A and B are shown apart, each in its own frame.
Chain A
Amino acid sequence: MPSYYNIDDVLMEDEPISVVFQVGANGVGLLDPGSETNNIEKGAKVDLPFWLAHELYLRQAVSTNVPACFSMKTRKEIQADASCVDLRFRCPYFYELGYKIAPLVGDKSIGAFLRYAFTSRYGEILSKSHSTAGTAPKFSARLTKEESQLFEAARSSMAAFKKWKIGGSRLEKASILGRKRKTTLPQPSIP
């Protein structure tokens, strides 16, 4: 369910999707950088953000192609060694996008592919997340946004527990109280 206030949802919907126009469209030439006129002809291949592609798809104006991150090449790589694939580079919102794009494209196998990818990458996230202290390890650069949220959730809760165990002051100052107030009173002149 898209959430109006969820920034990740908003960013996810900005992912470019390659679509093929099923009808000619006038006055929207700016969508197609290669277009010479101000119109898009029927059958033109254009990259549109997901939110626009979705709306146009519902109006049957375009047909969507499977995005590159769900290509056969990626699938082969995932099958070979899921945890080594840099999914963030392919698409930072890999799972969300897959989840949303699956009903739009004819490819029925995306759902199962996503589940397979997540299940096989989950193990590594789990094994590293609670034991990593301090800085994030190198492998976290390969995680998609969803995966790194999962990773961070575990890491930060463990870090918070460790911090509590070591101790320290139990009362913490609110951040706003830390600011120094500027004194506006004029300095008394030293005689």
Chain B
Amino acid sequence: MAGQSDSHLLSFSAPEVEFLAEDELVEIIPNLRMDALNMICGDFGPFFPQIATKVPLWLAVALKKRGKCSFRPPEWMSVERLTQVLEAERESPREFQPLPFHYVEISKLLIDNGHEDIPDIYMVRSLIEDIRDVRFHKVETGLETISGRTHAVKLKNLSAMEVNIVRPFMVRALQAFYKLDSPEMIQQPEATVNRRPRVIDRGPRVSLQIRPFSLYYVSMLLSDYCHFNFISI
């Protein structure tokens, strides 16, 4: 069952994240005349030829596939803007640049479906790819610093897909460290047989009383802006 998420790892599969991203609004230029569409999530339209309007991404893709509209690429998907972001990403090794929460998915859907609507499409595609690589590398360097004293990880501005890739590993790693660093495991031994780095400078450890809570906390911080990933633990 490849399309479904694994309940063990508390994560979404990539298509599921894409599905969530399809609710984001994008601008389209329709070439048909149509009344407003009244849907549960809101009213969209009415549509007039050559007059830009905002619709959810799924609707935009559906209209595009029928040849009823063209995309107007979002402002952040221009070559200049992406070059700036890439520069800034490379310059600040500890911070992530603000990009739309679903930038990976939105850009993929727009690029896949609207070849002719996006100027410099190859450049845009490779820039986004580079940005994602740089950011992911940063996440990995951050993960190297996890130790037993890490109780939560805050990753500001990380996007949905990036969080989703790293979540299974990060949750497990934090769990393992938490377990091995619990106070009942680490007692001061009388005769130290192995060198233990950093054992003297261990600060006062604030133990989290309820264990499941610490996990909630982790997944909460991991998601920063997103509000959808509390399934169950």
Contact = CB atoms under 8 A, between A and B. Distances in A.
Nearest to B112: A167
Given A146-B176, A160-B13, A130 B189 contact: no
B233 interface: no
A170 B22 CA distance: 13
B143 interface: yes
Nearest to B183: A111
Given A112-B186, A167-B112, A157 B168 contact: yes
B179 interface: yes
B194 A95 contact: no
A115 B177 CA distance: 8
A153 B187 CA distance: 31
Given A99-B185, A126-B143, A153 B191 contact: no
A149 B168 CA distance: 10
Contacts of A36: none
Contact of A122 (B14, B112, B168, B173): B173
Contact of A114 (B146, B180, B188): B180
Contacts of A102: 185
Contacts of B108: 165
Interface string A95-110: 1000100110001111
Contacts of A112: 185-186, 189, 192, 194, 196, 199
A75 to B, nearest CB: 5
Nearest to A175: B1
A37 interface: no
Given A72-B193, A172-B2, A99 B136 contact: no
Contacts of B27: none
Interface size class of B (residues with CB under 8 A): 35 or more
Nearest to B147: A119
Interface string B193-217: 1111101000000000000000000
Contacts of B176: 95, 118, 146, 150
Contacts of B166: 130, 154, 157
Nearest to B146: A122
Contacts of B14: 160-161, 163-165
A43 interface: no
Given A99-B179, A150-B176, A157-B11, A113 B169 contact: no
B148 interface: yes
B180 A111 contact: yes
A112 B217 CA distance: 26
Contacts of B194: 75, 78-79, 109, 112-113, 116
Contacts of A78: 194
A191 to B, nearest CB: 46
A111 B165 contact: no
Interface string B136-150: 100010011011100
A174 interface: yes
A152 B211 CA distance: 24
Contacts of A119: 147-148, 177, 197
Contacts of B172: 149-150, 153
Interface of B: 1-3, 9, 11, 13-15, 18, 108, 112, 136, 140, 143-144, 146-148, 161, 164-169, 172-173, 176-177, 179-181, 184-197, 199
